[in-house]
Amino acid sequence: MLNCILLGLAAFTGWVLFLLASPVGRCRRCRGERIIRTRLRGRVRKCPRCRGAGRSSRTGAVWVHRARWAIRRAVAGELERRREKVPR
Ligand SMILES: [Zn+2]
């Protein structure tokens, strides 16, 4: 049971680090081709998922980076508060 939790935690940490390293990946819907072929007569249109960019943020990447900025801001605020307390 504990092994399962540790394994899950390790996988989660690895995934978060991976997202921090490369938050943007190839769009899964168009596979980076920027266009998708509709079934009707093989028509081609711009990929709606990435809006023709061919790339899209990975699952959880937005969340991870939001958390990262929140932590960074909190740390900066704390440092600022400490600096104010120190008398010169
Ligand atoms: Zn796409």
- pLDDT tens track for 20-35: 888 888 888 888 889 9
The CA distances from residue 33 to 10, 30, 49, 63, in Å, are 33, 5, 12, 26
Instruction: Using the mean position of ligand 1's atoms as its centre, give its distance from the Cα of residue 25 in Å.
Output: 10
- pLDDT tens track for 61-73: 888 889 999 999 9
| Residue boundaries of the structural domains of the chain | 26-56, 58-88
pTM of the model: 0.57
Instruction: Using the mean position of ligand 1's atoms as its centre, give its distance from the Cα of residue 48 in Å.
Output: 7
**Which pLDDT belongs to residue 19?**
84
Instruction: Using the mean position of ligand 1's atoms as its centre, give its distance from the Cα of residue 29 in Å.
Output: 5
List of residues 6+ apart from 49 with CB closer than 8 A: 27, 28, 29, 30, 56
Instruction: Using the mean position of ligand 1's atoms as its centre, give its distance from the Cα of residue 56 in Å.
Output: 7
pLDDT band of 8, cuts 50, 70, 90: very high
Any idea which residue has 């266009």 for tokens? 35
